[in-house]
Amino acid sequence: MATFQGKTTINRTITDIYAFLSDFNNHKQLMPDNIQNWTSTYNEAGFGIQNMVQLSLQIVERIENSAVKIVATGNPPFPVKLLWDLRSADAGTEVTFTIDAELNMMMKMMASTPLQKLANHEVERLAAVLS
């Protein structure tokens, strides 16, 4: 299992951030430019990564004002779990985005940098969108 994390603190209430993250329709705003053909509902999202793969994601658990858990569904190139974790902080809300991916050694060498960049990008975009 390989783990990649991005963290930020946003000067918004935990309720506001949870409400945004708990609806997959909002996640398109967090995605990098190489995402194509985005489709979403409240619980599911599908998209392509330019010249690479199509992915389907599903929110499998919402813990009010605390966490949003997401898994890849269908036939992903490797098993992956995503977690948005929220904690109250003095300056607003501390947000951690974690990507847990089951990668073999070859996939780890190829995918580690892009997955870490994705984790960082998502929290940076969340901070920008909600600021």
pLDDT, one tens digit per residue, over 8-27 is 999 999 999 999 999 999 99
Q: What is the DSSP letter of 34?
A: T
30-71 tens-digit pLDDT: 999 989 999 999 999 999 987 778 899 999 999 999 999 999
Tokens 């998209």 belong to residue: 47
pLDDT of 52 reads 73
Q: What are the structural domain ranges in the chain?
A: 2-130
pLDDT over threshold 90, residue 92: yes
Residues β-bridged to residue 60? none
Provide the 8-state DSSP code for 50.
Answer: T
Class in CATH terms, 2-130: alpha beta
